[in-house]
């Protein structure tokens, strides 16, 4: 589904990714861990097409096509979703209307008819209930004035509405209290199925206790230093990155 080969990327003149190789099949959940500055968020943003980053070498193939040739919006309508570590506030843009536009962009790319507001409302109401969010959030401005936890839950809401085939969740667990973490984990588990892949970027074992990954990778200095099953995350929790990377 997603094949990353020898991926190199930089910000300005600073190299961040120095040869990533990663292969993810439909139905798999991969966790990416690593010390601060190891390139985890950069990897997610490069896959999503964030324009701040320049790919200098390597390739990303998505469902057999060259992903790097596509602008971010076409990656999104093609089924890739990035849950931001720091979701951006967009004052004045209504959350529900924004979600409808995004949902319709995806439908349009699939050759499906766009939904009017009244047609979209029941779907959104269902997803909001499933995310255990207050319906009032739909009518607020996109992320504006949301707490850190509310923003993260709004990212999960967007994911469940847009139904991507690959979800990149960048530290979605940070800033959540234990109840909110459980709700977010339930949302991810409900989303998980044989046709979808998930990349979880996290510093902590606690999310991986709730959403069990098929593979765990540790990034260091812009490369995947080691990979393993979920016991690797337990070792990191117990001994720290230095011990695992030694």
Partner 1 sequence: MATIANEANEANRARGVDSWDDLRRDAAARAATVGLPTRASEAWRYVDCAPLAHEPAAEAAPAITVLPGSTGWKSGPIEPALVRERWAKAVVDTTDIGQIWSWSQLRDTLHLHLPKGAQGHLHCRIETPGGWHGYRILISVDRGAVGSLVLEHALGAARACTGMDVDVAQGGSLTVEEIQSGADAAQLLSSAAISIDRDAQVTWTSAWRGGALVRAHQDVRLTASGASIDFAGLARVAGKRQAHQYLRVAHVVGDTRSRQLVKNVIDDTARASFDGLIHVAKGADRSDAEQLNHNLLLAPGGRADTRPQLDIHADEVKAAHGATVGRPEDEQITYLRTRGLDSETARTLVQQGFSDEILHRFRHVHP
The length of the chain is 246
CA angle 60, 68, 66 (to 5 degrees): 65
Nearer to partner 1, 109 or 225 (CB): 109
Q: Which tokens go with 182?
A: 């459980």
User: How far apart are CB 188 and partner 1 at their closest, in Å?
Assistant: 18
Which residues lie near partner 1 (CB under 8 A)?
48-52, 71-73, 75-77, 81-82, 84, 87-93, 98, 101-102, 105-106, 109, 141-142, 158, 162
User: How far apart are CB 88 and partner 1 at their closest, in Å?
Assistant: 4
Tell me phi and psi for residue 5, to 5 degrees.
-130, 120
Cβ contact 173:181 at 8 Å: yes
Nearer to partner 1, 20 or 82 (CB): 82
Round to the nearest angstrom and report the end-to-end CA distance of the chain: 32
Beta strands in 131-196 (DSSP E): 141-142, 166-170
Nearer to partner 1, 18 or 143 (CB): 143
Nearer to partner 1, 109 or 183 (CB): 109
User: How far apart are CB 76 and partner 1 at their closest, in Å?
Assistant: 4
* Bridge-based pairing state of the strands 29-33 and 215-220: parallel
User: How far apart are CB 82 and partner 1 at their closest, in Å?
Assistant: 5
């Amino acid at each position: 589904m997603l094949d990353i080969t020898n991926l190199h990327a930089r910000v300005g003149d600073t190299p961040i990714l120095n040869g990533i190789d990663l292969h993810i099949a439909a139905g798999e959940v991969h966790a990416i861990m690593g010390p601060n500055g190891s390139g985890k968020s950069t990897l997610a943003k490069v896959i999503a097409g964030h324009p701040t980053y320049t790919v200098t070498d390597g390739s990303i193939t998505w469902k057999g096509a060259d992903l790097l040739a596509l602008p971010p919006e076409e990656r999104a309508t093609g089924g890739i979703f990035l849950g931001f570590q720091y979701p951006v506030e967009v004052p004045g843009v209504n959350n529900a209307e924004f979600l409808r536009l995004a949902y319709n962009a995806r439908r349009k790319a699939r050759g499906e008819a766009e939904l009017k507001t009244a047609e979209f409302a029941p779907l959104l109401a269902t997803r909001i209930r499933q995310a255990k969010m207050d319906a009032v959030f739909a009518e607020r401005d996109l992320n504006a004035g949301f707490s850190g936890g509310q923003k993260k839950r709004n990212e999960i809401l967007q994911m469940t509405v847009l139904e991507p085939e690959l979800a990149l969740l960048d530290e979605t667990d940070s800033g959540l209290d234990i109840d909110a973490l459980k709700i977010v984990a339930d949302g991810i588990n409900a989303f998980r199925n044989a046709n979808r892949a998930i990349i979880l970027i996290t510093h902590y074992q606690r999310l991986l206790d709730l959403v069990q990954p098929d593979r765990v990778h540790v990034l260091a200095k812009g490369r995947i230093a080691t990979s393993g099953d979920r016991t690797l995350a337990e070792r990191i929790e117990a001994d720290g990155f230095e011990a695992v990377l030694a």
